[in-house]
Every structure is written in C-alpha cells, then in structure tokens.
Amino acid sequence: MRAMRAAGAAAAVLLAAVALAGCGDDGSPGAPTPAGATAPATATAPPSPATSAPGPTTPAPARTTPLPTPPPTANPSTERLLRVTRSGGFAGRTRTLLVSGDGSWTLLGEQDKDLRKGRLSPSALEDLRTALREADFAHLPRTATADPPVYDGFTYSFVHGGIEVSADQTALPAALSRVLGALPGFDAA
C-alpha cells in the first residue's frame, strides 16, 4: 500500500514538473496556440492521500514582471524643431529653413539645394523655443491671408510639433512674427 502511495506521489510530482516546464516566466503557457488550433490538454493527477494531507505549506515565490523599456529619447541633433518655408516675393523664390533641436539649421533653396548652414547660439535657441511656446501653434489659425492680397508679398508656412500654419506676410500673427525674428533669415549669403 505504501509503495502505491509513493508511486502516486512520484507521478504527481512528475506531472507537475512537466506542466511547469511548459510555462513561461510569468506562469502562463510558454507558446501561444495558433488561431484555429486547440490547446493541448493538461494532465492533472488526482490528489493522493500523501499530497492532500494538511501540513505546513510554504508560500510560492513571488513572480515579478519586468518593467517596460522606456522609449528611446530623441537625439537633439536629428529632432526637427521647426520648418519654415517662405515663398513668393518679387522673384517668386521658395526657401525652406530647417531648424534641429540642437540649434543647427539649414537653409534650402529650389530643389532642396543647400544654400547655407549654421548653428544658433544657446541663447538664440532658447529665444526661439520661447517664441514657439508662446505662439501656441495648436490655437493659431491654420491659414491667415491678407485681404486684399499683397502681390509680390511673401507667404510663410510653419511646421512645429506636427502642426502646420500658413500666413501671408501682412496677415502674420504677432506670435509668428516673433518666431521669424528668432530665426537666422532666408538670405543665401
């Protein structure tokens, strides 16, 4: 009789080990079941008198879940802080000024030809960031046009924080005028 109980207990331990071997670190089944397939049946042993007897129990070890990895921080030299495109004027030229988060900037001409490059000083970069915050792009009108239109005037398109706003030179909101004042300019020389 004792031999049968010992064999039953050994079988229960073996079944528990097999069941745990298929579990992941968090106790869930190790591999997901493909769609349309049925999960394999899990064998459980009937409780044996040796394992069901009351006695001292030890708590199961606490399982910990790893913390999620934070997203990588943007590299300030590649982060696009602002893009301003100026078009029109007497010559009808289009120029685009790209400013990165570290203050480096590039002035592009027709067909995205580099005309000039530079870097804003730390104080000039802070002035630009302040002007951008105060402009509150989310609440600016998306388009501001002069009435009547000014022929040979400039039109500006600003992209900051995923929001684009455009304005004619004479209808430019004061907040965007301050942003323009913090930029290096659109001249090629």
Which residue(s) pair with 20 in the sheet?
A: none
Predicted local distance difference test score (pLDDT) of residue 46: 52
Beta strands in 4-162 (DSSP E): 80-88, 93-100, 104-108, 114-119, 143-144, 154-160
pLDDT in tens, 131-175: 999 999 999 989 888 777 778 889 999 999 999 999 999 999 999
Domain boundaries, the chain: 2-52, 80-181
Tokens of 165: 């706003």
Q: Is pLDDT at 16 greater than 90 in this prediction?
A: no
Average model confidence (pLDDT) across the chain: 75
pLDDT in tens, 47-57: 555 544 555 56
Radius of gyration of the chain (CA): 34
pLDDT in tens, 102-124: 999 999 998 888 899 999 999 99
